[in-house]
Structure 1
Amino acid sequence: MYQCILSDIDGTLLTDDHHMSPKTRDAIKSLDIPFLPVSARSPEGIYPILKENDIVCPMICFSGGLILDEKGQVLYENGMNYKQTEEVITFIKEKKFDCTINIYALHDWLVEDKEDPRVLREERIVKAEAQKGTLSSLDPSRKIHKLLCMCNPLYTKEIERSLKERFPHCSIACSSDILIEIMNEGVTKADAINHLCDYYSINKQDIVAFGDNYNDKEMLESVGMGIAMGNAPDDIKNIANDVTSTNNQDGIFNALQKLNII
């Protein structure tokens, strides 16, 4: 019997217009086992979704770099230190990549230009507001949970390759054709699931996880039932245990019903 449900957010839990469908919302609220959103988003990018749908639950943020319980207390974190973060930012600027750098440290989201169209677009999507600032705005002792590069889609793959070559020990993944997530070594959604299993005293084989993109691959492979959305790339569908309908066609609801969980 499955003991926990995990779901990526964008392209999975939410429809393309960034809302949870009524069927998906009602299915989640009817669960008698833990449900957790698992996302590259910050806590501030997840809370509005939960509030809008009257859901209270723990969450895995920053692609596995942070786990918060239902009261917002930190259960686990893995972040870059100041020096590591500074090296990555310096490299991006020296290479003059066509991208905007976003710095995330727990509840802080820092950008150099608040009027950058890419930042404004992200604010609209996640319903959170960035703060004007740089790395030097933060206390050097703080952990940096994520750097996000908002890229020109023509160069995203090229930028990703360059970053992976220069920083092989960082955890780097594309979460869309314009977004590159940069986290500390060892940060993955799958690693966070290991810590979650310890917390709940459950086995990974008893977990159902939903995802739609390449940064969900390890998560889908690590659990007992990894389900790819119908809108996922074929590479992701091929490694999943099952494929459900798309995020716009109540994919999570349909899969939970098929598994007799709801």
Structure 2
Amino acid sequence: MAKLLFSDIDGTLINSKLEVTAKTKEAIRRQIINGNVFIPVSARMPQAIMTAAGQIMKTCPMIAYNGALVLDEMGRTLCSKYMTAKQAAEICTYVEEKQNQTTWSVYSGYDWYYSPGNNSDLIKQEEQIVKVKAKTSSITQIQELKGVHKVLLLGNPEQLTEEQKELSSKYPELVIVKSAPNLLEIMVKDVSKGEGVKILAEEFNVDLKNCWAFGDNYNDEPMLKAVGHPIIMGNAPTDLKRHFTDVTSDNNHDGIAEVLDRLE
């Protein structure tokens, strides 16, 4: 019976040089040859997922935007959940009124928008990581979008923690979670990597008990809890590692390959 192998990207699939190591590539390709399915799962947009996954294979199913957009291997949409453009624009307005180091960006489908006015160096850094170009926009233009899969706030970790508390109180219907100390992800409530995993397990008719998942951060926890074989990376926060018994090596030391080699 086929296994589904789900993996987060940043801090998990790729190392600190943003590369999938040769050993990890080989281990994943061996699993694919054996009839198993490798599925990248990320807060990234689809094109940015393929910046990493494309180092291994040309096409694959994927879970983008932390589960707000789920695609099969042909790029067909299996699930798409988004907040209203009005709500996204309100959050962007809140950020601009703060006048601090935080900057906003907005994702809708295959498009990524940002404001060029406020600390846009952070956007340029993110572009370098994901190898995708963001489009300049304004809050007025954001309001015209059909829907928003994700709002990403980038900035100072302490300020983002405070903004996370304030926005969580103001928008209880949204999920507001850090994917890195300097990144705050905002999506609709019933979106998570775990829900995305369930959709693809059903699509492939594979029991969740026969699914593996690799992750390193708090937004990976729903995915890890959804599968029969959760694997936490060695570089994960200590308090998160306490929740899981199977801890592998970190993303710079082929943590994924270490586990996949045991599945042979």
Normalising by structure 1, what TM-score? Answer: 0.93
1:56-113: per-residue Cα shift (whole Å, max 9, x none)? 2111000110011222221211111122222222222333343110010011000111
- Matching of residue 65 in structure 1 with residue 68 in structure 2: yes
CA drift at 1:196: 1.5
Contact 1:2 1:207 in 2 (8 A): no
- Matching of residue 18 in structure 1 with residue 4 in structure 2: no
- Matching of residue 39 in structure 1 with residue 42 in structure 2: yes
Detail structure 1 runs of 4+ shifted over 4 Å in the superposition.
Answer: none
Q: Which region of structure 1 is more displaced relative to structure 2, 17-26 or 127-136?
A: 127-136
Q: Determine the structure 2 residue equivalent to 1:4.
A: 4
CA drift at 1:14: 0.3
Q: Determine the structure 2 residue equivalent to 1:147.
A: 151
- The one-letter amino acid paired with 2:26 is D
Contact 1:105 1:146 in 2 (8 A): yes
- Matched residue of 1:25: which SS? helix
CA drift at 1:167: 1.1
Partners of 1:13 and 1:83 lie apart in 2 by 35
Partners of 1:39 and 1:237 lie apart in 2 by 19
C-alpha spacing 1:113/1:194, structure 2 compared with 1 (3 Å): same
- Matching of residue 246 in structure 1 with residue 255 in structure 2: no
Partners of 1:37 and 1:47 lie apart in 2 by 9
Q: Which region of structure 1 is more displaced relative to structure 2, 245-254 or 219-228?
A: 219-228
Q: Percentage identity across aligned positions?
A: 37
Q: What RMSD over aligned residues (CA atoms) do the two structures have, in Å?
A: 1.8
- Matching of residue 206 in structure 1 with residue 215 in structure 2: no
Contact 1:15 1:248 in 2 (8 A): yes
Normalising by structure 2, what TM-score? Answer: 0.92
Q: Determine the structure 1 residue equivalent to 2:131.
A: 127
Q: Determine the structure 1 residue equivalent to 2:228.
A: 224
Partners of 2:171 and 2:100 lie apart in 1 by 15
Aligned length: 260
Unaligned runs of 5+ in 2: none
Partners of 1:141 and 1:129 lie apart in 2 by 18
